[in-house]
Structure 1
Amino acid sequence: MSPAVLANLVALVHFAWVMFLVLGLGAILLGIAFGWRWVRNRWFRSIHLAMIAIVVGESLAGVPCPLTVWEHRFREQAGQTSFEGDFIAHWVHRLIFFQAEPWVFTVVYVAFGAAVAAAWIIAPPRWRPTDA
């Protein structure tokens, strides 16, 4: 498989990761408001929490996202121009021309992680089928 195709696949996985986090939290919050039982599914909630914990941990530790690193590397191998910064910063900039220091994105990641943790506390997942 060519490096360009691999870079695009990594970008697609990265996009799916972000969308799962953002749309997942939206679904959880709506589910809390409307009493949707499926948003308390332990697997969905555990995976969602683990995924944002990884993002927050990387950001606080100053570790670049492996998906961003891989995409950069594949694009360079393909002779393509790569973007600067991390995946979220790049796309936020491209979509709305938002410019901010890297620490701003760390704050956003931590705040988002806190929202996911708060939803976990407010509406914990079901651990047994009989839980409401």
Structure 2
Amino acid sequence: MSSDADVWMWLADLILGLHAIFILFVVGGQILIVAGWVLGWTWPRHRLFRLLHLLAIGFVMLEAWLGFICPLTALENILRTAAGAVTYGNGFIRYWLHQLIFYTAPSWVFTLIYTVFTGFVALTWFIYPPRRKL
């Protein structure tokens, strides 16, 4: 691989990592919100955290409803193409991170999952609301 290809591949891996962090924020954030509710923590009621969390999963659900490809996925694919890569053939972390994030199922399954999860996030917004000041 040339040095240009190395740079493109590195940028694609960076986007994949950001994608994983986004997913961790959405899923892990909801786990922490519910845990905070059960355990009486105050920080999961921080208004900005809760708003960003709701907007993040709402964006994912809207993408699914409209049939849009995730911008992070599209950007990663562009960068991998620029690097001349077609597969995740090398790199342990790259391979397993990709296996964790992308799995095969019909698109309606993901739309249903995103919609139900967004409903759960919205429900916790109302039954365990954020606070302006903690």
Q: For residues 20-49 of structure 1, what are the alpha-carbon distances to aligned partners after superposition, in whole Å with 9 as ceiling and x for unaligned? A: 111100000111111111110011101101
Structure 1 residues 52 and 98: alpha-carbon distance in aligned structure 2, compared to 1, 3 A threshold: closer
Q: What is the TM-score normalised by the length of structure 2? A: 0.82
SS state at 1:17 partner:
helix
* Residue 34 (1) aligns with residue 52 (2): no
Unaligned stretches of 5+ residues in structure 2: 89-95
Unaligned stretches of 5+ residues in structure 1: 84-90
Identity %: 40
Root mean square deviation of aligned Cα:
2.2
Q: What is the TM-score normalised by the length of structure 1? A: 0.84
Instruction: Report if aligned partners of 2:63, 2:69 keep a CA contact under 8 Å in 1.
Output: yes
* Residue 124 (1) aligns with residue 134 (2): no
Larger RCO of the pair (alpha carbons < 8 Å, separation 6+): 2
Task: Provide runs of 4+ in structure 1 moved above 4 Å.
Answer: none
Number of equivalenced pairs = 121
Distance 1:104 1:94 in 2: 18
Match runs of 1:80-119 below 5 Å: 80-82=85-87, 94-95=99-100, 99-119=104-124
Match of 1:54 among 52, 59, 66: 59
